Structure 1
Amino acid sequence: MTDETRTSITAGEAAKLVGKSVPTITRAIKSGKLVAKPRKPKGWIIEPSELFRVFDAVTGETNAKYKMLEDETDIKDSVLQAKLEVMEQRFSDAQATIEDLRTRLDTESAERRQLTAQLTDQRKQPEPPKRGLWARLVG
């Protein structure tokens, strides 16, 4: 059973949950007021959130399946919240690692420039004497 069929309800179940008739539910679907997917061979698959967006729920035993779906959603939400917290911690760790690596790279680059300067002759090279016109022509 997929998640869609486990959390979705039929038009008959929807009618019981909101205290309406099945034809009222199907009219709402056909008019576009309520969004649902066609079910094979016939009927409709309705998400409870979509149903309760359009119609108010009735209280009592007919609401038991919705309560069960609501509890399942709460469990899924808490699992997703835990996953989100773990991912945020991983992201924070990755950001710290990136910052550390950038600092190291900048430090090593500065050291490399300093060592290069020490190893090479940094004095200004004297300019060659200017040659006259005759020396340039004769070569």
Structure 2
Amino acid sequence: MKLTLNQAAKECGRAKSTLSKAIKSGKLSAERGDKGAFLIDPAELYRAFPKSSNDDQTSPMRNTENEQGNRDLEREVEAFRQQIDTANLERERERAQLSETITDLRSRLDRESEERRALTAMITDQRAGHGAKRGGFLGLFGRSG
């Protein structure tokens, strides 16, 4: 089974760019796959980049630590996403409540304005059909001043 450039880089503990340069320079032979990706025979990989006993001891340990760290980070990111979703839902509820309050206050203000106009008209006796206002104290008793 042939390895992709990424798999080969992990296998030998080198960067993909290092392997790519080795392929271009002819130090490492590889063939192109159907999608144009490099396919490297493992025997060819270890010929160009021999495994050392150091690689066997440190690489798996480092990968395991990185994978565990990645899982921890993924859990943390998921927890933050849940907090953000909860905060967004709360914000939407608050917006809806504020919108309802504004609508209610506007309708109350309109009703109060109409009531004030009606009361002002009654106080000044400006209602339709009541004619001119009589002046002074004597005007209350039907006498002109």
TM-score normalised by L of structure 2: 0.46
Taking CA–CA contacts closer than 8 Å with sequence separation of 6 or more, which of the two structures ends up with the larger relative contact order? 1
TM-score normalised by L of structure 1: 0.48
